[in-house]
Chains A and B, each alone.
Chain A
């Protein structure tokens, strides 16, 4: 019990060491690299499971919170010291298990997926680095450590998205992801600074002195800043900005779909299961702060920060779902769906508290990883084809992928009873319904649920039903020779076992996980709060109207989807989308992602250009222009004086003229590029200062 709690730092350390060692390996030692990275991840999973079991034992013997902390001095600066720490609590433990389990499966999947890539060694180094940073975020007991891991994660994500850096689109996408998340990170950083300023510590828990504990929270909640906000709210909002950036919420969602340029396992690992969940996790971690520093009952959600969380979440859920409807790229659809589901998580956090949001996070991680890996398998089978218009009929060609994908799809759509997505989404909708401040999040959530069912049905119909439409266009894959595929099915094949086994495992967990959080047996919530759960079908009875609503909505969504796409399957790859022929303008608008990128191009980027132009211009003006201007002005004065002179008096002003001109030249003489003149200026300044001080000293 205590052994794992005090050695919790081993979990992120192992993949980090693996990454370090792999980084030093030569390129050809890919087998060793794969073994090291996967092995370290496996060990991390074992340790995570041990940690998880330890927290389970914690509340069996009646402890309120099975939280273990280990803090240490990082370095000392003057009299103060900067402290870091590690932490194991149910929230972290469940994340640890999820991250290491999904991570391990994705590592294994990558072995097959990247089998032909010459740079496998580098890839596994980055993967391990990423996993280490993510696990570090989970076990960090200090906002500073969390931030550091958070940034390492950002770097690793950048490296992985741009892994195929020879593709310009990948390089651009990596840069975009990095820069956009950086905007969020500024918020997080500012929040962190503010937190340190206000409480003097960045440790979350420190025996009553941590910044998430009662003393600090009361102090923060009691400190009013302007606008009627408390310091707690301010910090919470800033941290929320960081979470928004990392989790791809509106308005910083633009990077996530582009990030699909990376290899598919990366999309599964980073942009479905783990990294984007870090934002949600951050909000969950600082939840006491989010509630405004006072213990409001969960569900009331009166604090400004929580309202912002819920608002952002609900908006994102619907917005991204709309965009997902019109995408053609199998991974982009999933990407927008991820954004949308993350919105649900925020909605759940904002309206229902930690357990609701986290439950959806966990279930979503599994089925979205499943979907992404399924998509990867499809892409791999179709020779790096990503456009769903060029697929079709894969049901017969890739049966395992089809079956597991269907499980993932139904979980995501929220098909009742057997699929985890149903239970977690239902809880969110339930919480949103009973949320006091507003009914809007609920309405948006229901609309989002409908859209989710709709677009997932569309995707299924396009990819797995009908006839195979590929094999006509030349492919833009990497390293797959053209000759390997022929025949009617274009050489589409089921993926090897190393790729399908993770799929099956993930599908299994998707089916099982839902039962951990049904209203009848809310084990998950109880686990996070440190109670023990009781089986009670009465609660199920109380929840059934909401379940009915969501069942109806999902049925409606799937029905509509099937009616539009499934009835008649698409004839050819170039045929227009049925929706496109019905509502061309709306569809194109959605296809173009509602022009958000263009909006940013036109506003933020343009503004940035303008600002930099203005800066450049100011620079010229101040450094060069001003001097010239002064000179010119004096010359102008001189010229007019001379004209006057010549016109009127014709004598007397010549001298004045010359002296003014000399003055202008004198100013530009200051800026003559001679280092020694500048040094002389420094010296003169020093002398003046010294003499002034001396003067003041004598006479002051």
Chain B
């Protein structure tokens, strides 16, 4: 347990708690960013440089921005009242506690962990690229397909709908009726 782990782990936990418990959704989103940064730090600490930076690039640079942007678009910035379902924490907490019992129990009962026999070799970015283009080329292509489908799907979902079910851009000066 390095000091870095304590620092970043603390960021992760505090950020996650904030993301889930703060009243204002925008604060939650910003708190989520803290979690992401903490996670990226943890990855760097673990020696996964590329992954850590990718985490920042994807989550902080894209996902979090997208989240807050959607919050602005849907005008939830002020927060709805009440922000939590009636009995929500009770219910969520119960389920989460049960899961926690399971997970922590499983983790705590681990025994007979064999330490790594040979020293760790950290793959360079070039190694990762070569692996992506050889052993993992099929998953890579699949991810490409999934991302393309998601992009098109998201664009279509978010396009304004017109009467008669046709999806498309509304002509200028003609706002969709709500």
- Please list the residues of chain A having a beta carbon within 8 angstroms of any beta carbon in chain B: 75, 77, 676, 680, 683-684, 686-691, 693-694, 697-698
* Partner of B95 from A684, A697, A698 at Cβ < 8 Å: A684
Bound: A75/B109 CA distance, A: 43
Residues of B within 8 A of A690 (CB): 99, 101-103, 105-106
Q: Chain B nearest CB: distance from A27 CB in Å?
A: 22
User: Does the CB pair A691–B109 fall under 8 Å?
Assistant: no
CB distance from A636 to the nearest CB of B (A): 30
Q: Which of A676, A684, A690, A697 lies at the interface centre, i.e. has the most chain B CB atoms within 10 A of its CB?
A: A690
With A676-B85, A680-B92 already in contact, the answer to whether A694 and B138 are too (CB < 8 A) is: no
**Which residue of B88, B92, B109, B137 is within 8 Å of A698 (Cβ)?**
B109
Q: Check A693–B106 contact: CB distance below 8 A.
A: yes
Q: What are 6 pairs between A and B in contact, CB < 8 Å?
A: A75-B137, A77-B138, A676-B85, A680-B92, A683-B96, A687-B95
Q: Is B91 an interface residue (CB 8 A)?
A: yes
Which residue of the partner chain A has the closest CB to B95?
A683
- Contact digits for B104-148, partner A, Cβ 8 Å, 1 yes 0 no: 011001000000000000000000000000000110000000000
The distance from the CB of A504 to the nearest CB of chain B, in whole angstroms, is 51
Q: Please tell me if B98 contacts chain A, counting CB pairs below 8 Å.
A: yes
Q: Mostly helix, strand, loop or mixed at chain A's interface? A: helix
With CB as the reference atom, state the residue of chain A lying closest to B102: A690
Partner of B102, one of A77, A680, A687: A687
- Complex CA–CA separation, A698 to B102 (angstroms): 13
List residues of chain B with CB within 8 A of the CB of A75: 137-138
A680 close to B109 (CB less than 8 A): no
Nearest residue, chain B, Cβ from A694? B105
Q: How many angstroms from the CA of A689 to the CA of B138 in the assembled complex? A: 32
- Option from A676, A680, A687, A693 in Cβ contact (under 8 Å) with B101: A687
With A684-B98, A688-B102 given, name 6 new contacts (CB 8 A).
Answer: A75-B137, A680-B91, A680-B92, A690-B101, A694-B109, A697-B109
Minimum CB distance partner of B92 in chain A: A680
Q: Which residues from chain B contact A680 at a C-beta distance below 8 Å? A: 91-92, 95
Chain B residue at minimum C-beta to C-beta distance from A697 = B109
Whether B98 contacts A683 by the Cβ 8 Å rule is yes
> Which residues of B are at the interface with A, using a C-beta cutoff of 8 A?
85, 88, 91-92, 95-96, 98-99, 101-103, 105-106, 109, 137-138
Which of the residues B85, B92, B102 comes within 8 Å of A691, measured between beta carbons?
A: B102
CB atoms of B138 and A686 under 8 A apart: no
* A684 surroundings in chain B (CB, below 8 A): 95, 98
B138 touches A687 (CB 8 A): no
What residues of A have a CB within 8 angstroms of the CB of B109 in the complex? 694, 697-698
Whole-angstrom distance between the Cβ of B132 and the nearest chain A Cβ: 14
Q: How far is the CB of A697 from chain B (nearest CB, A)?
A: 7
Shortest CB-to-CB span from B134 to chain A, Å, is 9
Q: Which residue of A lies closest to B134 (CB)?
A: A76
Residues of B within 8 A of A694 (CB): 102, 105-106, 109
In the complex, what distance in Å separates the CA atom of A697 from the CA atom of B106?
10
Q: Which residues of the partner chain A approach B99 to less than 8 Å between Cβ atoms?
A: 683, 686-687, 690
User: Which secondary structure characterizes the binding site on chain B?
Assistant: helix
A216 to B21, CA, bound (A): 65
Total A-B residue contacts, Cβ distance less than 8 Å: 42
In the assembled complex, the Cα of A691 lies from the Cα of B95 at a distance in Å of 13
Q: Which residues of A contact B91 (CB under 8 A)?
A: 680
CA gap between A107 and B105 in the complex, in Å: 73
Residues of A within 8 A of B98 (CB): 683-684, 687-688, 691
Per the bound structure, the CA–CA distance linking A691 and B103 in Å amounts to: 8
For B88, B102, B105, the residue with the greatest tally of chain A CB atoms inside 10 Å of its CB is: B102
Within the complex, the shortest CB–CB distance from B120 to chain A, in Å, comes to: 25
Residues of A contacting B138 with CB < 8 Å?
75, 77
Residues of the A chain whose Cβ atoms lie less than 8 Å from the Cβ of B106: 690, 693-694
Chain B residues near A693 (CB-CB < 8 A): 106
Q: Which residues of B contact A689 (CB under 8 A)?
A: 102
Cα distance, A687 to B100, chains bound together (Å):
8
Q: How far is the CA of A684 from the CA of B96 in the complex (A)?
A: 8
Alpha-carbon separation in the docked complex, A690 to B98 (Å): 9
Q: Which residue of chain B lies nearest to A690 when distances are taken between CB atoms in the complex?
A: B102
Bound CA–CA A693/B98 (angstroms): 14
Query: Bound state CA distance, A683 and B103, in angstroms?
Result: 12
Tell me the nearest residue of chain B to A689, going by C-beta. Answer: B102
C-alpha gap A275/B137 in the complex (Å): 35
How far is it, in angstroms, between the C-alpha of A683 and the C-alpha of B100 when the chains are bound? 10
Q: How far is the CA of A688 from the CA of B95 in the complex (A)?
A: 10
* Alpha-carbon gap, A683 to B95, bound state (A): 6
Specify the chain B residue showing the minimal Cβ separation from A698. Answer: B109
> How far is A496 from B95 in the complex, measured between Cα atoms in Å?
80
Alpha-carbon distance between A683 and B91 when the two chains are bound, in angstroms: 11
The distance in angstroms between the C-alpha atoms of A693 and B92, with both chains bound, is: 23
A686 CA / B98 CA spacing, docked (Å): 9
Chain A nearest CB, measured from B115 CB (Å): 22
How near does chain A come to B2, taking the closest CB pair, in angstroms?
29
- Chain B residue at minimal CB-CB distance from A680: B95
Bound form: Cα–Cα A694–B91 in Å: 24
Bound CA span A697–B111, Å? 12
Q: How far in angstroms is the closest Cβ of chain B from A475?
A: 35
Measured CA separation A687–B101 after assembly (Å):
8
Nearest opposing residue in chain A for B88, CB measure: A676
- Please, how many angstroms separate the alpha-carbon atoms of A698 and B138 in the complex? 40
Residues of A within 8 A of B85 (CB): 676
Max count, chain B CB within 10 A of own CB: residue among A77, A689, A691, A697:
A691
Contacts of A686 in B (CB 8 A): 99, 102
A656-B87 Cα distance, complex, nearest whole Å: 27
Q: Using Cβ atoms and an 8 Å threshold, which residues of chain A touch B96?
A: 683
Q: Give CA–CA (A688, B105) in the complex, Å.
A: 12
Minimum Cβ distance to chain B for residue A74 (Å):
11
Within 8 Å CB of B105, what residues of A? Answer: 690-691, 694
Please measure, in the bound complex, the distance between the C-alpha atom of A686 and the C-alpha atom of B106, giving whole angstroms: 12
The docked-state distance in angstroms from the alpha carbon of A694 to that of B98 is 13
- Could you tell me the distance between the alpha carbons of A271 and B100 in the complex, rounded to whole angstroms? 65
**How many Å from the CB of A183 to the closest CB on chain B?**
28
Closest 7 A/B residue pairs (Cβ): A690-B102, A687-B98, A683-B95, A687-B99, A687-B102, A680-B95, A691-B102
Q: Which residues of A contact B88 (CB under 8 A)?
A: 676
CA distance A387 to B103 in the complex (A): 77
Q: How far is the CA of A689 from the CA of B109 in the complex (A)?
A: 16
Nearest chain A CB to B145 CB, angstrom units: 14
Which residue on chain B has the smallest CB distance to residue A687? B98
| Complex Cα spacing A680 to B102, Å | 15
Nearest CB in chain A: distance from B61 CB, A: 28
- Closest-by-CB residue of B relative to A684 is B95
Q: A693–B85 Cα gap in the complex (Å)?
A: 32
When distances are taken between beta carbons in the complex, the residues of chain A under 8 Å from B103 are 690
Q: Which of B96, B101, B105 has the most CB of A within 10 A?
A: B105
Shortest Cβ distance from residue B44 to the other chain A in the assembled complex, whole angstroms: 30
Taking the closest CB of chain A, its distance from the CB of B58, in whole angstroms, is: 24
Could you tell me the distance between the alpha carbons of A693 and B107 in the complex, rounded to whole angstroms?
12
Per the bound structure, the CA–CA distance linking A690 and B88 in Å amounts to 23
How far apart sit A75 and B85, CA to CA, in the bound complex (Å)?
Answer: 51
A432 to chain B, nearest CB (A): 50
Of all chain A residues, which has the CB nearest B99? A687
- For A697, the chain B residues whose CB sits under 8 A away are 109
Chain A nearest CB from B141 CB (Å) reads 9
How long is the Cα–Cα vector from A77 to B134 in the complex, in angstroms?
10
The residue in B92, B96, B99, B101 that gathers the most chain A C-beta atoms within 10 A of its C-beta is B99
CB distance from A293 to the nearest CB of B (A): 34
Which one of B85, B92, B96, B98 has the highest number of Cβ atoms from chain A below 10 Å of its Cβ?
Answer: B98
Hey, which chain B residues are within 8 Å of A683, CB to CB?
A: 95-96, 98-99
User: How far in angstroms is the closest Cβ of chain A from B152?
Assistant: 20
Tell me which residues across on chain B come within 8 A of A691, comparing CB atoms.
98, 101-102, 105
A609 to chain B, nearest CB (A): 25
